[in-house]
A and B are shown apart, each in its own frame.
Chain A
Amino acid sequence: MGYLNTILVLGGIQVIAALGLAILTGYTGLFSMGHSVYMALGGYAAAVLYMELGVPFILALILGALFAGLCSMIIGYPTFRSQLRGDYFAIATLGFAEAVRLVLNNTYKIINGAIGYLGIPKLTSPWLVLIAMLLAFVLAHSFTKSQWGRNCLAVKQDATAAQMMGVNVLKTQMTALFVSAVYCGLAGGLLAFYMAYLTPAMFTVTKSSDLLAAVVFGGMQSLVGPAIAGFVLIALPEILRPLESWRLIMYGSLFVIIMVFRPQGLLGYYELELGRYLAPIRAAYARLGIRRKAKVDAA
């Protein structure tokens, strides 16, 4: 039972982080191989706030997440500002992740550097993770359907054209980055209070590849896909223990294979949603709206 709990909690945490990265990479088209750094920042911040400053648990989680979001602006602003190509952001993200890990590993005051920040109370319950996960999903879904979400898609599909149609590309990209960092920060906080300790080694490039894998396998422009993939990618290795050493080799190969044969991933550019079934209803309503307007004009 405890084993199942662990999978549910860790899986749920990964889902939250994967949703964040989905918004950045799947919807806004920005490549990041360093998003585990925001999990680290959120986790450490939440833990420190709780342990050293007595901030209540949930508030600490939220503040930790926001802190991670703010940190993302350190790379976000310089790399997005001059409308530079995505490579700059990707490289800066890698550099940032290394730099932060370096600082965390070497800061022994309070957080105990590479040895690890110990003694964090185990306050994360499976129920909390479930609620957080559902909330995260509903909010993310709402965002992607909104005008902000539409701007993200436009920037991904053709940033130059988007700009000429009035989209502030810088603002859109920074918003997507901020949101993705907050999501990862929250995931990190939940992780800290489940594992009951934190070390920088928990947040390596491997963790970042896990998140990216969730988005690539699950599908671009989809939330459900990365959510499912994120969960499965945590649960599967537990089941397939003997293949653990092959895991990264498989991920890497799958990245290439998927990009070559089916880049849109599991769900393609379609989101599994009720919306597709509501669409004809929505269209009919709109047509009613136009007819109503015509009547008003005639009157």
Chain B
Amino acid sequence: MSDHILDLQNVTVQFGGLRAVNDVSIYIDPGEFVGIIGPNGAGKTTIFNLITGSIPPTEGKILFKGQSIAGKRSDQLCHLGISRTFQNIRLFPEMTAYENVALGLHARPQYSLIEAFVRTPAAVRTEEQSSIAVYELLDMVGLKSLALERANSLPYGLQRRLELARAMATSPELLLLDEPAAGMNEDECDDLIRTIRNIHTEMGYAIMLIEHHMNVVMELCEGSRLYVLNLGQILTAGTPQEVQGNPHVIKAYLGEKDESYV
């Protein structure tokens, strides 16, 4: 009887002749912080897509909070507690930062369609209350003052933060972060590490992180676990130190310090 919040058991994904994911088993416990690293094309984002229900596994089981997620739509999984950010930022470009986060908060409208047309006092009140929650989330990522800016007018780094806030707005129990540090310089990475650590401590989510910036991964996974993927299979798993010392990993992937594999 395991109490992993997420349990991938011998999962395989086959696209025609290509085995994008080959007999992979990964788990994460509630509140844990787990990293996934590996060269490009190793299947990392595919795994995230499996977890969010965007693609079905060809073989294997995926359990979330003990229940199989097979056949569930992505929005249903979101309401069960899974949320994510994307490798290529996928904000709603013409909506403001406020609206992006608000959407995460209330993807399931709190009032009926009729009330959407006829603004009852009750509907207005719920909007005002959620407004407070939205500003709190924006504050957590440092975007409160930019709440009314269009998402596509924000600089890159802030867009990543906004995506984080939006993902948090869905009140997840499991948060999937797909290369949040992509395109960032050292200072921005340090900021990001601090922000993510903060979120993890304050909100207590289980967090799964895909990342190429080695220092980001190693720092955030300090005291926790790391999976290394290569060519759709798990090469090894362990603490950051164990992984760094593993000759196979070094051979397949880790080049010089702090350089992403290209």
Is A279 close to B, CB under 8 A? yes
B74 surroundings in chain A (CB, below 8 A): 160, 163-164
Is A252 close to B, CB under 8 A? no
Could you say which of B95, B116, B135 contacts A148, with CB atoms under 8 Å apart? Answer: B116
> A147-B110, A287-B135 are contacts. A165–B94 as well, Cβ < 8 Å?
no
Is B109 within 8 A of A146, CB to CB?
yes
Is A161 within 8 A of B92, CB to CB?
yes
Contacting A at CB under 8 A, from B231-251, are none
Residues 118-145 of chain A: 1 if any B CB is under 8 Å from the residue's CB, otherwise 0?
Answer: 0000000000000000000001101100
Is A157 within 8 A of B119, CB to CB?
no
Chain B contact patch, size range:
35 or more
Contacting A at CB under 8 A, from B55-111, are 73-75, 78-79, 83-84, 86, 90-95, 99, 102-104, 106-111
Is B132 within 8 A of A154, CB to CB?
no
> A166-B170, A175-B113 are contacts. A142–B90 as well, Cβ < 8 Å?
no
B90 surroundings in chain A (CB, below 8 A): 158, 160-161
A163 CB to closest chain B CB (Å) equals 5
Is B166 within 8 A of A165, CB to CB?
yes
A158 surroundings in chain B (CB, below 8 A): 90-93
Query: In the assembly, what is the distance between CA of A177 and CA of B170, in Å?
Result: 26
Interface centre among A153, A167, A221 (most CB of B within 10 A): A167
Could you say which of B73, B95, B109, B148 contacts A147, with CB atoms under 8 Å apart? Answer: B109
Is A283 within 8 A of B116, CB to CB?
no
Query: In the assembly, what is the distance between CA of A165 and CA of B171, in Å?
Result: 10
Could you say which of A142, A161, A164 contacts B119, with CB atoms under 8 Å apart? Answer: A142
Is A167 within 8 A of B107, CB to CB?
yes
A172 CB to closest chain B CB (Å) equals 9
Is B209 close to A, CB under 8 A? no
Contacting A at CB under 8 A, from B117-138, are 117-119, 123, 127-128, 131-132, 134-136
Query: In the assembly, what is the distance between CA of A146 and CA of B114, in Å?
Result: 11
Is B192 close to A, CB under 8 A? no
A269 surroundings in chain B (CB, below 8 A): 94, 150
Could you say which of B52, B99, B119, B150 contacts A150, with CB atoms under 8 Å apart? Answer: B99
Query: In the assembly, what is the distance between CA of A269 and CA of B167, in Å?
Result: 24
A166 surroundings in chain B (CB, below 8 A): 75, 78-79, 104, 107-108, 170
Is B93 within 8 A of A142, CB to CB?
no
A168 surroundings in chain B (CB, below 8 A): 73, 75, 107-108
Is A279 within 8 A of B78, CB to CB?
no
Is A139 within 8 A of B94, CB to CB?
no
Is B207 close to A, CB under 8 A? no
Query: In the assembly, what is the distance between CA of A139 and CA of B114, in Å?
Result: 10
Is A230 close to B, CB under 8 A? no
A182 CB to closest chain B CB (Å) equals 10
A156 CB to closest chain B CB (Å) equals 9
Is B148 within 8 A of A283, CB to CB?
yes
Binding site for B on A (CB under 8 A): 139-140, 142-143, 146-151, 153-154, 157-158, 160-169, 175, 221, 269, 279, 282-283, 286-287, 289-290, 293
Extra A-B contacts (9), CB below 8 Å, given A146-B111, A153-B94: A146-B109, A146-B117, A146-B119, A147-B110, A150-B102, A161-B91, A166-B108, A221-B94, A289-B132
